[in-house]
Amino acid sequence: MESQNIKKKSVRKAGLLSLIPGLGQMYNGQQLKGFAFLAVTIAFLIELVTIGIPAFQDFVTLGTVPIRDHSLFLLVKGTLQIIITFVFLMVLILNVSDARQVAKQYNTLGYVNRSARSMLKNIWENGFPYLLTIPAYFVMLFVIVFPVLVTLLMAFTNYDFYHIPPAKLIDWVGLQNFVNMFFLSAYRSTFVSVLGWTIIWTLLATTGQITLGILTAVITNQKFIIGKKFFRIIFLLPWAIPAFVTIMSFSNMFNDSIGAINQQVLGLLNYIPFVHVSDIPWKTDPFWTKTALIMIQTWLGFPYIFVMVTGVLQSIPDDLYEAANIDGANAIQKFTKITLPMILFATAPVFITQYTFNFNNFSIIYLFNSGGPGDVGGGAGSTDILISWIYKLTTGTSPQYALASAVTIVISIIVIGVSLLTFKKTHAFSNEEMM
């Protein structure tokens, strides 16, 4: 009855009017909010004309006069301007949808919030989730999104040790870096060789730590073991101690001539009858360095899997095993038909993050043997993975920033692509109520 007495607001009209931000809100009778939107818009327009448009122009040219124009800063300012413009476009969308929603609300309820007080209350009640996540997005915008954007853009420039601003200008070179990486013989062979080892490394090291983690968890979980707590503490030590400490210690232990592995451990093996082991060139032969790296990562990484899998094992109901016993299943059948599927089902997503972690596991590669021994061209050693190659490209005596950025892009595409595919395959998120 009552709603017929009020003049209906047109939702369409409110939406269309707010193409000039604020007008839609004023049409709805929310002057204050309207002015706020209008003020933001005017502020943005002023910013765009005074700073934004020159920034976009410089972004396209990346400067014309060396010394006066610092190409790198122009690139960054252009990127910032892109982000600002993007944020403003989001505000614009918010503004239109807000005008339409308030118009709808007016039509059904017959009133709108006019006072500042009721508006703030509304924000607190309905905007609470946004208020709580703003800090996360704010930090990520500056620390992740912005650097990733700059890197993405840098991959299309010629920023290297020949072109260090402000003395020299940087230019856009299109896909040149990617063409070099994939087709230019010198870089291509480095890239292929580093990528090949990165993949082998990721697969072997991660599978090693997952296998040892599961094995240890299953064995330690047996009921009869005395001193379970004691073994648990020992097995957690590699995780508890900062990784750089253990990696550097191992680096010393694996020294070819004086290291403890050659001097003491292998020496001990020689006491076993008919066994003779001579010193192994851990640090000077690529094959042995790689072997050592995989062993050390298995040592470092298994406790994490061990803890997770132990948790899963304790949650498997005993009835399952009792039923299997009645059916006459042996230990191996119980493991492959009950235990393993349960573990894999519950922890697959974490295993995937372990693979991506090792794909980018810089510390162990760099701190163990600085990516050496030897040289596979392009400044990379024979055990360098992509991420440590990037580090060398960026920090070396003749830095190749643009190429490093291009490699970063390739890494990101590989990692994101493979993880998304496997996440989808393992249905890791099918039980997550997304909506």
Partner 1 sequence: MRGILSSTKFNRFFSRFLTYLFLIVLSIIIIYPLLITVQSAFNASDLTAFTLDLHMHWTLANFQQLFTQTLYLTWFKNTMIIAVSTMIIQVIIVTLAGYTYSRYRFKGRKNGLIFFLVIQMVPTMAALTAYFVLGLIINGLDQYWFLTMVYVGGGIPMNTWLMKGYFDTIPRDLDESARIDGAGHLRILWQINLPLAMPMIAVQALWAFMGPFGDYLLSAFLLRSPENMTVAVGLQQFIADPTNQRVAMFAAGSFLISIPIVILFFLLQRNFQSGLTAGGTKG
The interface with partner 1 within residues 361-380 (CB under 8 A) comprises: 362-363, 366-367
For tokens 């915008």, the residue is 141
| Region 289-308 residues binding partner 1, contact defined as CB under 8 A | 299, 307-308
Q: How far is the CB of 314 from partner 1 (least distance, A)?
A: 8
> What does the angle CA 271 – CA 274 – CA 279 come to, to the nearest 5 degrees?
60
Among 239, 288, 321, 335, binds partner 1 (CB under 8 A): 239
Span of 25-33, 102-110, 172-180, 354-362 interacting with partner 1 by CB under 8 A: 354-362
311 is a site residue for partner 1 (CB under 8 A): yes
332 is a site residue for partner 1 (CB under 8 A): no
1 is a site residue for partner 1 (CB under 8 A): no
Among 147, 341, 374, 396, binds partner 1 (CB under 8 A): 147
Tokens of 236: 């957690």
The residue length of the chain stands at 435
Q: How far is the CB of 428 from partner 1 (least distance, A)?
A: 5
What whole-number distance in Å separates Cα of residue 75 and Cα of residue 81?
Answer: 10
| Region 11-50 residues binding partner 1, contact defined as CB under 8 A | none
263 is a site residue for partner 1 (CB under 8 A): yes
Q: Is 394 helix (H, G, I), strand (E, B) or coil?
A: helix
> Residues binding partner 1: what is the number (CB under 8 A)?
102
Span of 13-21, 36-44, 51-59, 407-415 interacting with partner 1 by CB under 8 A: 407-415
Tokens of 95: 């503004």
The answer to whether 256 touches 281, Cβ cutoff 8 Å, is: yes
Judged by beta carbon, residue 26 or residue 63, the one nearer partner 1 is: 63
Calculated CA dihedral for residues 267, 272, 277, 280, nearest 10 degrees: -50
207 is a site residue for partner 1 (CB under 8 A): no
What whole-number distance in Å separates Cα of residue 30 and Cα of residue 51?
Answer: 31
241 is a site residue for partner 1 (CB under 8 A): yes
CA distances from residue 311 to 290, 344, 349 in whole angstroms, order as listed: 32, 13, 15
Q: How far is the CB of 6 from partner 1 (least distance, A)?
A: 27
| Region 416-435 residues binding partner 1, contact defined as CB under 8 A | 416, 419-420, 423, 428-429, 431-432, 434-435
| Region 51-110 residues binding partner 1, contact defined as CB under 8 A | 72-73, 76
Tokens of 177: 């870096």
Residues contacting 351, CB < 8 A, separation 6+: 206, 210, 305, 344
How remote is the C-alpha of 151 from its chain's centroid?
14
